[in-house]
Chain A
């Protein structure tokens, strides 16, 4: 049994041997063929891969060549490095402003009962006049300082007056969110105060600005602002001022006036943004602040009220802006509200009066607010509405002198409603039509302004 199985196997093998041999030959042939095919396939694949690689390399080389080409061109043209101001010369811009004004009342009769108005606080002249012509020069002085000067040229009673509105230096990138400014500048009190007249939304200042500051609070001094490293915008600041310009007055050794202010602001989503500000101004030692005088009958000399005492102002401002998708170019909306509250304590003397010289103690309290909305409904058109209101409660030992000084409210609440529409051919030009229903004093006035404001020269960046 042991040999039986191998024997069977051998016989079977022998029996089939011939045919097996033939099959083997075929297999070998097939195998060879397969191997050959496989070999070729592999080679083709390899070639293909090499071809792809070469192609890729060529493309890479092409890109490199392009890059080198561009770089070479760059060298040839030696590009002007684009800085904010790309020349050493200061950025110069000129604001041309002119208007046609029509008033029902005589603008010379204008008064704001309860406020002793400073110079330049009137309505301006009627008819055609050239308004504030502003010349602005600014530049980075070096890597640490920036400087700016604004000269306003206005005509008063056929005499051209040149006023130095701003002349300051300011640190850039002092670090830790600090910025220091020195010289003459617009105080950071309120919201609109830092804006140049040409960027106001109406032809005239809000009544409360007219009453308190003679349109704008400008003084010489030092300002320091700190921006906190927070996601919500938060800035704190203080100013030490000379205090010899309206609405302060007198010469001071140290600071004649000072301010503190805080602003917070941010975005709500992409379309909305806001800013809320609180500010405070104080002048403890106002000496001889004179305001617009008036003459009695035929007398040639003007009796001018002069205030001496202390003065403080609290202010609140709120601004909200909206634009679709956060893109204000074609459509945007702006809401602006400001509230001021001034308290004064001291005495008022009528200069050039008497004898005896008219004088009274003075305890002043003046409040005022305005609210305005401006809607840009097309890329070249804006329209706006504004409401002003004042509230005065001044007292003094001699009511007659107060009244003569213009500090009595005459039982009147000053109000004004304004509406305007603007056409903006480009971002450098603007033509505005404005109507005021002005109830500053008891005799209400209809006022119409047609105003152009154009800016020549370098782009100015505008504040929020």
Chain B
């Protein structure tokens, strides 16, 4: 018995040794190339923006995909490892990532990306937010004290953020300021053209009545002139209850809406349920850019999904 115990202990000691050794190896290998600015983007839209504005001077990693709810991400080991090496953090802010980002920052031991340092860039700090609550009370659901953080659906705000992000990139990496200016010029030209195009395309959507699943579409509604008539979640972050749904159903029977919107990552059961009973079309919208997709392409895709309603 004692022999096996000693053996087990020896095995553990050996494992610790092996781990230690591999650390040394990794350390030796990691000091190779440090040319690119490593950007840690909390959401894929900021990853796409950083890619567009940074060009080859940046290496961007997105912590989440469009399929993940940015409110509920776990501070996974892989994310700590990424933040550890980041030069610049590009996140939404406004408490969207409050459940995981502070922990990543604390665990990273990385001085460059701590709050108030140049490597800490919260997009919400550079624009105005809608729906800033007057009363903060949890009985109102999972509300954000700073305002609604889903502003990446507003192309005008996106452009403002692009300007601020370029300034930040230039601050961190002055060497490439020429490149950043050129990229910004290119981006804003294309973006403004795209805004014109989108505006023309979406004239027909003005005044359409929508039912939303979570209040993620405030900025989109404001931009496109959509009118929100109901929300499937009784309170932000609280899943729809059958009682609340039947209330919404009753309301819609009286005064129908044109469409029910939900994010692709969200559970669409209640949206479908409501759609079947009211014959209002339910539309799943891509919440953010897909892998390596450009922001313009994503907006195009988003509007494509919204527009068939008209035909």
Binding site for B on A (CB under 8 A): 59-60, 63, 66-67, 70-71, 73-74, 77, 79-86, 140, 143, 146, 170-179, 225-236, 260, 262-267, 270, 273-275, 278, 280, 314, 316, 321, 325-330, 341, 343, 365, 367, 379-380, 393, 425-428, 456, 459, 461-464
Contact = CB atoms under 8 A, between A and B. Distances in A.
20 contacts: A67-B156, A82-B125, A227-B81, A228-B23, A228-B84, A229-B27, A233-B78, A234-B19, A264-B77, A265-B77, A266-B77, A270-B65, A273-B77, A325-B265, A326-B68, A379-B239, A427-B142, A427-B237, A459-B98, A464-B74
Contact of A267 (B30, B67, B76, B265): B76
B16 A280 contact: yes
A463 B5 CA distance: 32
Contacts of B122: 82-83
Contact of A278 (B2, B19, B94): B19
B127 interface: yes
Given A264-B19, A266-B78, 11 more contacts: A70-B157, A82-B125, A175-B109, A226-B109, A228-B23, A230-B26, A232-B78, A325-B68, A326-B68, A380-B239, A461-B100
Contact of A230 (B30, B99, B145, B160): B30
A37 to B, nearest CB: 33
Nearest to A74: B128
B19 A172 contact: no
Interface of A is mostly: mixed
Contacts of A367: 5
Given A84-B98, A321-B74, A327-B265, A67 B108 contact: no
B111 interface: yes
Interface string B59-79: 000001101110111111110
A68 to B, nearest CB: 11
A428 B125 CA distance: 27
B15 interface: yes
Contacts of B114: 143, 172-173
Contacts of A174: 109, 111
B309 interface: no
A291 B64 CA distance: 48
Nearest to B98: A459
Interface string B140-176: 0110011000000000110110000000000000000
A230 B98 contact: no
Contact of A67 (B2, B19, B109, B160): B160
A146 B192 contact: no
A179 B109 contact: yes
A71 to B, nearest CB: 8
A422 B192 CA distance: 50
A59 B74 CA distance: 43
A305 B129 CA distance: 63
A462 B80 CA distance: 13
B202 interface: no
Given A73-B128, A82-B94, A262-B20, A175 B110 contact: yes
B75 A463 contact: yes
Interface of B: 1-2, 5, 8-9, 12-13, 15-16, 19-20, 22-23, 26-27, 30, 64-65, 67-69, 71-78, 80-81, 84-85, 93-95, 98-103, 105-117, 122, 124-125, 127-129, 132, 138, 141-142, 145-146, 156-157, 159-160, 192, 195-196, 237-239, 265, 267
Nearest to A77: B128
A173 B267 contact: no
Contacts of B100: 461
A66 B139 CA distance: 36
CB-CB nearest 7 A-B residue pairs: A265-B77, A233-B77, A173-B114, A325-B67, A173-B111, A233-B81, A175-B111
A316 B141 CA distance: 39
A229 B30 contact: yes
A177 B128 contact: no
Given A84-B102, A426-B142, A173 B110 contact: yes
Contact of B156 (A70, A84, A233, A330): A70
B75 A461 contact: yes
A265 B78 contact: yes
Nearest to A84: B102
A79 B164 CA distance: 16
B109 A173 contact: yes
A257 B107 CA distance: 24
A459 B99 contact: yes
Nearest to A321: B74
A86 B237 CA distance: 21
A189 to B, nearest CB: 13
Contacts of B99: 459, 461-462
Contacts of B124: 82
A326 to B, nearest CB: 5
Contacts of A74: 127-128
A140 B115 contact: yes
A426 B65 contact: no
Given A83-B115, A178-B109, A461-B102, A330 B267 contact: yes
Contact of B117 (A66, A173, A270): A173
Contacts of B106: 146, 170, 172, 179
